[in-house]
Structure 1
Amino acid sequence: MTPFWKLSAAGFAATAIAYGPARMGFGLFLPEFRSAFGISTQTAGLISSLGFFGFFAGLLISQAMTTRKGPRLPVISGLLAATIGTGIVAAASNFTVLSFGVLLAMSSAGFAWTPFNNAVHRTVDDWSRPTALSSVSTGTSLGVAAAGTAALIISTSGISWRLCWAMFAIASALALAGNWAALREVAGTPGPGVAERWRVLFRRSAMPLFGIGLCYGITSAIYISFAADRIAQAGGVAGLPRNASGGLVFVCYGIAGLLGLCTANVKAMMGLAWLLRLLMLACALSFALIALWPTTFAGIILSAALQGLYVMMMSAALSFWSDRLFPSLPSQSFTAVLLAVATGSIVGPAIAGIASDAYGPMSMFLGSAALAAATAASFRSKHIWERPPVHSPENP
């Protein structure tokens, strides 16, 4: 198997687990967790923010591992965290154990994606690199769709949510075994060159990239944390059990997100600046739909599809942008972007939970829509560099 196919498949599997059930599972099953553990909306926001703090910490640890040992160790560590974390949630007997399992599972997302930028940049040719990176980032779609399908089946059949989380743990273990084999050739090889310096990344030209990443983190984390609960609290969709609505949301979210595989082609047709604007507007419309029509099939399906498209295409677009600005620092530059995303993900759910309790979920979702729309309106094409200078540790 060629490096392109091997890394694309391994990365797809890793992100399918880490950014699928491990990262989305708490929001997907929040209605069930409310019933089992007596969780309020504000508390749910704090637990979600705690999980995203694990994501933030995982990014930093992953970067250190990649620099010293190459991309294999952080990916394997992340999938191990996902396996153990989802297993803990499946067996959780109280609120404290649940929170620890969520923290560990969600931290896997920080470990298991950025190392692939390093591996792909080193082993895949320039022409195929955007397609490989799109494949890695879009693994999330399959993971989210599969998790949503499992949740939908279990909620309509009356089987315990614990079985679903046990299945997530088994899937994580299988992905771990596959990546252990696929990344053997890049194990223990951090790559040539002197130590990378973070200060190289904090240039004026990169601030719009980090700003978009921050907004992306805030909005995407709020949606995955509270969309399913918004529908359940509004009464659910006619014809489905109340707690099955979350499964419907994430199935549509994941399926639509598969269009993220086309991100490289869409970017080539319209340019990165317009792609970013349209994705932020899609996010705004997604929030507005779930705020205003949370119990209609049309509103839920369209909202989830737009959000899935936004999340998957935006993640790939940020990867392209960081690789273009910092071609000699592929892993570290994308880690910096994801740290901005993680910062937004920590802040977003905590504030959203407080706002929802104070002003109601509709106002909270409409406020999130306004944030996305304002970001789209403020973005300028000049923020995208057509031919950026080459930045390297030797020549910052």
Structure 2
Amino acid sequence: MTRVGPRTANLVAVGFALTALAYGLARFAYGLLLPQIRIELGLGTVAAGWIGSAAFGAYCGGVVAAFMGVPRWGARVVAVAAGLCATAGLGLMGMAGSATTLGVAMGLAGISTGLASPPLAAAVGRHIPQAGRPRANGVINAGTAAGIMLSGVAALAFAAAWRELYLGFAVIAAAVTLWLWQAIPGEETTKPSPGAFDMRPRGLFSLCVAAAMMGAASTAIWTFGADILREQLHFSDQQIALAWLALGTTGLVSVMTGTATDRFGIAVVNRMSLVLMGLGLVSLAAGSWMSVLAFAAMGLFGAGYIVSCGALLLWGITLFPARSDLGIGLPFLMIAVGQMIGAPLFGGLLEATGTAAALTGAAVVMACAAIPAPHSARKDAGAGNHPEPASVT
């Protein structure tokens, strides 16, 4: 295991960049740019929801591929594959002329997101000492917020030029992919031992249920948030981009997730983050009364979502200490399963009942996601105190 130094800092930095690319640009920028995309391509609400759902489904496939690929080919190869898929997906988004092409592009983007987190977890587990892993994982996870912020700033600068934005994002993706190959050390691969870890640890079902319910409720914002701001609250493109910027900026608090879970426990941190998201959804439902309330709602949701993702991945690592890539990938897989199911359901509910009822329903689901919790809710349940993971390679 290498000492903490410039090489370690470079690893964390490129992990942050890949997370920003895969989650912030390739995945969640779709919700921000959806109003312009719908107008140009003539997409209905349900069709837009199904395309978003396809991306989440592709994400699930990417996570499974990463589970199998990291032990076989190493973290660097899988991370570079994530960058290549993001580059291809973003480029195709910029050239999409139909809903079918758009769906294929979003599928590639979804695969890139699924491939991204497990190799980064494996690299952190191998090259960063145990004491520094929670903080490193927290910083890397905060890349999602940075990517959302970048997409918001770009949308402010270029207004409705969504094609040009996606092509520009593709250029960024290509640069990050080259950086990944340089920054992540090549590893000797090994076949995982079937008996090296318990595939059904106590608390696995609770983690899966909590992650899936959170993911399902979150599609209210990630897939339909910009549409709601435009159609129901009459926000301009500039106001929508500012709301997205608020969402990403508050998400940067997630860099402290590792420290917070060490002090207060994973259960407390995750429940507080779910409360923030639930308040954000309810506040957005009431945003028509006061526009500033909508900005606050997006900020609450952004902080809650990124922190919850961090808490869930640390929860997963405590269940699979010998396979940190599996511990991180599994909760993200279940979040995506929830989003795959939730996107078309929320789209249908939005059309059938209206904005306020649909958002309130999503908030109720978010509250239910707080019921499952790690079996150990003590302060020492944080990720920094689990046993030293075995070397991934």
| C-alpha deviation, 1:390, in angstroms | 7.0
* Aligned position for 2:352: 358
Q: Secondary structure at the match of 2:142?
A: helix
| C-alpha deviation, 1:335, in angstroms | 1.9
Unpaired runs of 5+ residues, structure 2, are none
CA distance in 2, matches of 1:61, 1:22: 18
* Aligned position for 1:85: 89
Q: Secondary structure at the match of 1:19?
A: helix
Amino acid at match of 1:180: W
Kindly indicate whether the alpha-carbon contact (under 8 Å) linking 2:37 and 2:162 is maintained by their aligned counterparts in 1. no
Structure 2 counterpart of 1:133, from 121, 132, 137: 137
Does 1:26 find its partner at 2:30? Answer: yes
Kindly indicate whether the alpha-carbon contact (under 8 Å) linking 2:232 and 2:355 is maintained by their aligned counterparts in 1. no
What is the identity percentage for the equivalent residue pairs of Structure 1 and Structure 2? 26
CA distance in 1, matches of 2:304, 2:75: 27
Kindly indicate whether the alpha-carbon contact (under 8 Å) linking 2:23 and 2:147 is maintained by their aligned counterparts in 1. yes
* Aligned position for 1:243: 237
What does 1:1-396 correspond to in 2, within 5 Å? 1-155=5-159, 160-183=161-184, 185=185, 187-190=186-189, 194-195=193-194, 200-237=198-235, 242-294=236-288, 296-376=290-370, 378-379=371-372, 382=375, 384=377
Unpaired runs of 5+ residues, structure 1, are none
Amino acid at match of 2:224: F
Kindly indicate whether the alpha-carbon contact (under 8 Å) linking 2:14 and 2:179 is maintained by their aligned counterparts in 1. yes
Inter-CA distance 231–94: structure 2 relative to 1 (3 Å threshold): same
Q: CA RMSD in A?
A: 2.3
For normalisation by structure 2, the TM-score amounts to 0.91
* 1:302-353: CA deviation from partner (whole Å, max 9, x where unpaired): 1111111112111211222122222112112222222211110100101101
Inter-CA distance 297–361: structure 2 relative to 1 (3 Å threshold): closer
CA distance in 2, matches of 1:59, 1:175: 20
Q: Secondary structure at the match of 1:112?
A: helix
- How many residues align? The count is 382
Amino acid at match of 2:201: R
Kindly indicate whether the alpha-carbon contact (under 8 Å) linking 2:89 and 2:106 is maintained by their aligned counterparts in 1. yes
Q: Secondary structure at the match of 1:373?
A: helix
Kindly indicate whether the alpha-carbon contact (under 8 Å) linking 2:268 and 2:377 is maintained by their aligned counterparts in 1. no
Q: Secondary structure at the match of 1:23?
A: coil
Amino acid at match of 1:55: Y
Inter-CA distance 68–357: structure 2 relative to 1 (3 Å threshold): same
Inter-CA distance 65–113: structure 2 relative to 1 (3 Å threshold): same
CA distance in 2, matches of 1:300, 1:245: 10
For normalisation by structure 1, the TM-score amounts to 0.90
CA distance in 1, matches of 2:149, 2:82: 21
Amino acid at match of 1:273: A
| C-alpha deviation, 1:392, in angstroms | 9.4
Kindly indicate whether the alpha-carbon contact (under 8 Å) linking 1:141 and 1:312 is maintained by their aligned counterparts in 2. yes
CA distance in 2, matches of 1:207, 1:253: 30
CA distance in 1, matches of 2:375, 2:127: 32
Amino acid at match of 1:327: P
Amino acid at match of 1:366: T
Inter-CA distance 392–304: structure 2 relative to 1 (3 Å threshold): closer
CA distance in 2, matches of 1:59, 1:43: 25
Inter-CA distance 163–233: structure 2 relative to 1 (3 Å threshold): same
CA distance in 2, matches of 1:315, 1:4: 23
CA distance in 2, matches of 1:124, 1:391: 11
Inter-CA distance 266–204: structure 2 relative to 1 (3 Å threshold): closer
Inter-CA distance 197–290: structure 2 relative to 1 (3 Å threshold): farther
Amino acid at match of 1:121: G
Kindly indicate whether the alpha-carbon contact (under 8 Å) linking 1:27 and 1:226 is maintained by their aligned counterparts in 2. yes
